[in-house]
Amino acid sequence: MGFGALLEPVKHNSDFHCPPLRSEGPALSSLPQLPSERSRASKDPLQQELHDKRFSSPPVPALPFSRTDYSPFSSCERTRSALPCRGPARQHYARSQSVSRTSPNLAFVPACLPPDPVEVEELQHFVSNSKRLFVMTGAGISTESGIPDYRSEGVGLYARTDRRPIQHAEFIRSASARQRYWARNFVGWPQFSSHQPNTAHLVLRDWEKLGKLHWLVTQNVDALHTKAGSQRMTELHGCTHRVFCLACGDQILRSELQEHFEALNPTWKAEAFGVAPDGDVFLTDEQVCNFQVPACSKCGGILKPDVTFFGDTVSREKVSFVHERLAESDSMLVAGSSMQVYSGYRFALAAREKQLPIAILNIGPTRLDHFASLKLNSRCGELLPLIVVDDTTS
């Protein structure tokens, strides 16, 4: 198979001039630059773990929601009995412990006051009274890991730049839009994929282990909850670390695709100028138009990140799966989200409908401030570690 079948055909727009794409060449699978999948996954502990899940684990049972959530990163199907248990019966998160866990990167965190002791007490009371906590997170929880959000006043991408995320229809319709998307994504990937979970991610992971957190739903696509070790989790909008074929559904790791990009674009150089929440960066049209985009190695179809772009909808199966988890919960905590996007907001509406108490931890106003039981304007990584959670699993 030649590049003609493996590269995306690009219809060149008249707004910029591109040289024609190569039409002949070796198949991706025969390119010498690509090491074997097994040796590739051994460099990084996370990649190794993901690789092991993908290639070494027994088949995962069918999921009660969309195919796109079936991946080495997603573990929603796991049961509590499979979780490792904590040693001590009671766990505390003191302020000193949290500080030593990770050093927050505050460049993209909106300014806010330190947690008010009275508010900390209120959140403590809220969490203590919850037996099955449903947690929803958004970009605000990842800003302390150095990933900018879109909407925060002053520091969000909307405030600092004219950047807007790609629209789903544009990605599907336009080969040159996909070329631009992937060229930018290729440049941004090394930095974007290197971000690490912060204290807030780690605390939520521990709440899960302690039996406090019933289910976690994240609107983020950065894999930081997965990197932290959360398992009872749904990635509502997918994850940038997975890529799938729109035609045959074949799914690969985003890190594998990076190696395809490198093999196809050995001399292509570009620099990243500010990475967006979706891993995007800024590039000129001249830089973009020389970038070669591989197609699916199985069928030649279009590759797309396993991410719900703006303008697309979350699958019905996934939505009803999350509603079921919410129905099993007795309270809802929103952490780091203004809940402006309906795909997440609908679960807050459902929680209100069920008269569940709702607490919000977010710097700045949210769409549900008027019906929340509690609203705190603090950093997630600063406040969550102050909450004491008992181990209910023993």
5 binds Zn ion, rule: CB under 5 A? no
Near Zn ion by CB under 5 A, which window of 46-54, 104-112, 161-169, 246-254? 246-254
Of the listed 51, 237, 241, 260, which one is catalytic?
237
228 binds Zn ion, rule: CB under 5 A? no
Near Zn ion by CB under 5 A, which window of 168-176, 237-245, 260-268, 340-348? 237-245
How many other C-beta atoms can be found within 10 angstroms of the C-beta atom of residue 70? 19
245 binds Zn ion, rule: CB under 5 A? yes
Q: How far is the CB of 352 from Zn ion (least distance, A)?
A: 42
Q: How far is the CB of 281 from Zn ion (least distance, A)?
A: 26
Candidates 31, 247, 349, 350: give the one binding Zn ion (CB under 5 A).
Answer: 247
What is the Cα–Cα distance from 207 to 325, expressed in whole angstroms? 16
Q: How far is the CB of 218 from Zn ion (least distance, A)?
A: 27
Q: How far is the CB of 244 from Zn ion (least distance, A)?
A: 8
- What tokens appear for 26 in the block? 């070796």
What is the Cα–Cα distance from 356 to 330, expressed in whole angstroms? 6
Cβ closest to Zn ion, residue 277 vs residue 305: 305
Strand order in the sheet with 251-253: 251-253, 238-245, 303-307
Residues 42-101 within binding reach of Zn ion (CB under 5 A) = none
Near Zn ion by CB under 5 A, which window of 14-22, 35-43, 160-168, 243-251? 243-251
The CA-atom distances, in angstroms, between 334 and each of 122, 135, 205 are: 15, 6, 15
Cβ closest to Zn ion, residue 52 vs residue 250: 250
Interaction pattern, residues 251-290, with Zn ion; x per rule: CB under 5 A: ----------------------------------------
What is the Cα–Cα distance from 334 to 387, expressed in whole angstroms? 15
Q: How far is the CB of 299 from Zn ion (least distance, A)?
A: 3
Cβ closest to Zn ion, residue 115 vs residue 238: 238
Cβ closest to Zn ion, residue 250 vs residue 369: 250
Cβ closest to Zn ion, residue 245 vs residue 326: 245
Residues 294-353 within binding reach of Zn ion (CB under 5 A) = 296, 298-299, 301
Q: How far is the CB of 243 from Zn ion (least distance, A)?
A: 11
Q: How far is the CB of 9 from Zn ion (least distance, A)?
A: 15
What single DSSP character describes residue 150?
Answer: S
What is the Cα–Cα distance from 138 to 127, expressed in whole angstroms? 19
- What tokens appear for 258 in the block? 């990076």
Active site residue 225: no
248 binds Zn ion, rule: CB under 5 A? yes
Torsion of CA 132, 130, 326, 67, to 10 degrees: -50
Near Zn ion by CB under 5 A, which window of 17-25, 93-101, 111-119, 239-247? 239-247
Cβ closest to Zn ion, residue 122 vs residue 250: 250
Of 325, 329, 351, 358, the C-alpha closest to 132 is 329
Residues 286-305 within binding reach of Zn ion (CB under 5 A) = 296, 298-299, 301
What single DSSP character describes residue 105?
Answer: B
Q: How far is the CB of 297 from Zn ion (least distance, A)?
A: 8
E-strand spans in the chain?
Answer: 90-91, 133-137, 213-218, 233-235, 238-245, 251-253, 303-307, 331-335, 358-361, 374-376, 389-390
What is the Cα–Cα distance from 158 to 152, expressed in whole angstroms? 8
Total residues contacting Zn ion (rule CB under 5 A)?
8
Near Zn ion by CB under 5 A, which window of 1-9, 143-151, 192-200, 250-258? 250-258
Counting Cα atoms < 13 Å in the Cβ hemisphere of 26 gives 10
How many other C-beta atoms can be found within 10 angstroms of the C-beta atom of residue 123? 20
Cβ closest to Zn ion, residue 34 vs residue 159: 34
The CA-atom distances, in angstroms, between 6 and each of 85, 185, 234, 245 are: 47, 19, 32, 12
Of 234, 220, 223, the C-alpha closest to 196 is 223
Give me the amino acid identity at 319.
Answer: V
Cβ closest to Zn ion, residue 257 vs residue 351: 257
What is the Cα–Cα distance from 281 to 251, expressed in whole angstroms? 24
Near Zn ion by CB under 5 A, which window of 132-140, 170-178, 245-253, 386-394? 245-253
Please report, as ranges, the residues that interact with Zn ion according to CB under 5 A: 245, 247-248, 250, 296, 298-299, 301
Active site residues: 237
